[in-house]
Every structure is written in structure tokens, then in C-alpha cells.
Amino acid sequence: MKLTEIKALLEQKLLAMPGVLPTAFENVPFKPPDGPYQACYHLINSPVDLGIEGTLVEKRGILQVTVRYPEGKGRQQADAMCEQLADHFKPPQIIPGAGFRIELNKTASIGSGAPDEGRWAIPVSIYWRAFPV
């Protein structure tokens, strides 16, 4: 259960959402369109050793998606996209991987919007935990 595998599964889940916006991923070239887009980041937390022998490890983190809409156009469309993201990752869900599973057991949180470089930006935090199977 490698972090690269966990990140890839979460990104696949994100891109499978109906009506998904163009997405900027970490350290990948991306030219923002004139319209809305989203930026995807992985915030990794420290692992938790669950077994006394150190054989069972829980990996944890946040899939951080920042929805970015052109500024000055109102917040309704951006808010609706954030709600759609939260619904797409609504708990409880299990995302199966090869030899591990990702659990979504906590409701995604939608932060407050703020202007950023000519865009209205709203962060959506999707909490996950991964375990070997």
C-alpha cells in the first residue's frame, strides 16, 4: 500500500465524477482555462501503527480540491460544484485497491470562498484512511 497508489485511486475517483471540471494536479503542467477549474492536492497525515508487532498500518490524509471560478460572477455555481464534490465523496464509501482499501468515513468539509488571483476559490477537504486487506 504505497501513497502513490492511494493518490492515484483518489484522483481516479475525482475524475469519474459527472461534470468534473478541468483539473490541475500536483507538479503536472496545467494551463488554467478562462472558465472554472479545480486544483487537486494531497495532504498526507502521519500513519498510525495499529498492531503491537507493527504489522498493521493505517495511512491517513485529505484530498484537497480547490474549486476556482472566475471572480465577480457570483458564488452560486461554485457553491453548487462544491456540493457536488462533497456528494461524490459522501461517506460511507470504500474504494478498493490492489491489496488495500481506502475508506471515506467522514463528511467532506467545504471551506469559505475567497478571491485569489482573479478567481473565487473554495477549498473542499475529503478525509480518507487506507488499510491493507
- 112 domain-assigned: yes
Tell whether 56 is covered by a domain: no
Q: Are 127 and 92 spatial neighbours (Cβ–Cβ below 8 Å)?
A: no
Residues in the chain, overall count: 133
Decide if 8 is inside a domain: yes
Given a contact cutoff of 8 angstroms between Cβ atoms, the answer to whether 18 and 106 are in contact is: no
Considering the domain boundaries, does residue 133 fall inside one? no
pTM across the whole model:
0.92
- Give the pLDDT confidence of 96-129 residue by residue, as tens digits: 999 999 999 999 999 999 999 999 999 999 999 9
Provide the domain limits for residue 21.
1-27+90-117
Number of separate domains in the chain: 1
Report if residue 101 sits inside a domain: yes
Asked if 89 contacts 108 with a C-beta cutoff of 8 angstroms, the reply is: yes
Q: What is the pLDDT of residues 21-45, one digit of tens each?
A: 999 999 999 999 999 999 999 999 9
Is the torsion defined by CA of 58, 133, 4, 55 positive or negative?
positive
